[in-house]
Amino acid sequence: MFLTSIFLLVPLVVLVVYSFSGSRYATVWGGFSTQWYVRLVDNVELREALWITLKLGGLSTLLATVLGTAAALGHWRLCGGGTRAVPTFFYLPVMVPEIVLGLALLIFFTKVWTVERGLWTMTAGHVVFGVCYVFAVVSARLRGFDARLLEAARDLGATPWQAFRLVQLPMMVPGIVGGALLSLALSLDEFVISYFVTGAGISTLPVKIFAMMKKGVTPEINALATVLLMASVLLALLSIMVQGKHRAD
């Protein structure tokens, strides 16, 4: 485990340390400097890409969460807590390599439903895998739910809607939040599908980073990565806190 930790941490340390390098090359150390962070703040293109990434992530997570949660609920009502009848269909997209999904969508959007590619075509792809993850996480959560609780609520005079909203939904929330966060995290980092179906002037952060890398990596990318890393660590801590709080409740 000690060696594993080193294996896991060394690239990250390198990443962070080199973001403070004075050299123009991301692979060569050139003395301490914070110039790349200054540059980062001034980089309009990256800001634009970040904004598009967030929009795409928000939009696709929203859709995936709504669709995935509804589907998981429907499936639960249909089959109860049974684990055997999990529809493999919902897990298929995860079993297909991203690049295949990317090119399939490219064919679809160029030769079948010809549209100008951009935010919406990317959203279409991101929701596909997002739905799967939300479905899986919410389903897992519902598996432990006792349907008799709903009946009890009905017996006590609740309408079906009230029973759902006051009994079942609160119990589902951690699953929904977990699924949504997973879907969001994957969307923010997704590269291949976005790369295939992106449009003119619409670059997500990963696509932009890939383009920057091909140009030759400057420590500016390291600086960006460090900032993103901090943001995701914060996000992760937040989600642990939210879920921990729910558990405490």
Partner 1 sequence: MRLSRLLAIFCLATASVTAAPAQTLKLLVWEEYLDPSVLKAFTKETGIKVVEDNFDDNEGLMAKTGTGKSGYDIVSPSDYAVQIMVRRKLLAELDHAALKNLKNLSPDFTDLYYNRGQKFAVPYTWGTSGLAYNKKKVKNPPASWADMFEVEKLQPLKGRISMLDDAREVAATALLALGLDPNTGKPGDLEKAAVLLRRQKPFLAKYDSASAEDSLASGETWLAQGFSGDIATAQAENPDIAYILPKEGVSFFVDNLCILQESKNKAAAHVLLDYLMRPEVALVSMNAMKFASTNKAIKAEEIDESLRSSAALMLPAREKRVLFMDPGQEMGDAFEALFNDLKN
Partner 2 sequence: MMGRLRWSWFLMLPALLWLGVFFVVPLGMTAVAAFARRGEPLEWTFSMAAWVELGRGGFGVVARDPDDAAAGWRFQNEALAVGWRTFWVSAATTAGAFLIGFPAALFMVRRSARWRRVLYGLIMIPLVANSLILAYAWVTLLRRDGLVEKFLRTLGVLGEDGSLGLIYTPSAVVLGMIYWYLPFMVYPVYSSLEKFDWRLLEAAADLGATAWQRLVHVLWPLSLPGIMTGCLLVFVQAAGTLVFPELLGGSKTRLLGPLIHDKFLSYPENYPLGSALALALMILTTFGVWQALRVSGERKDNSVS
Q: Which residues bind partner 1 (CB under 8 A)?
A: 23-25, 27-28, 55, 58-59, 62, 110, 114-119, 199-201, 203, 211, 213-217
Pick the closer one to partner 1 by CB: 29 or 91: 29
CB of 211 to partner 1, least distance (A): 6
Interhelix angle 44-79/169-189, rounded to 10 degrees, is: 140
Pick the closer one to partner 2 by CB: 58 or 93: 93
Interhelix angle 219-248/2-18, rounded to 10 degrees, is: 130
Q: Which long-range contacts (CB under 8 A, 24 or more apart) does 123-126 make?
A: 123/56, 123/59, 123/60, 123/63, 124/197, 125/101, 125/193, 125/194, 125/196, 125/197, 126/56, 126/57, 126/60, 126/64, 126/187, 126/190, 126/193, 126/194
DSSP reduced 3-state for 198 = coil
- Is residue 52 within the footprint of partner 2 (CB under 8 A)? no
Mask for 151-190, x = binds partner 2 (CB under 8 A): ----------------------------------x---x-
CB of 157 to partner 2, least distance (A): 20
Pick the closer one to partner 1 by CB: 111 or 148: 111
* Six token digits for residue 78: 């249909």
In whole angstroms, give the CA distance from residue 94 to residue 136: 11
CB of 205 to partner 2, least distance (A): 7
- Is residue 96 within the footprint of partner 2 (CB under 8 A)? yes
Q: Which of 75, 172, 183, 220 binds partner 2 (CB under 8 A)?
A: 75
- Is residue 73 within the footprint of partner 2 (CB under 8 A)? yes
CB of 135 to partner 2, least distance (A): 7
- Stretch of 41-49, 144-152, 169-177, 192-200 lying at the interface with partner 2 (CB under 8 A): 192-200
CB 205 within 8 A of CB 50: yes
CB 178 within 8 A of CB 244: no
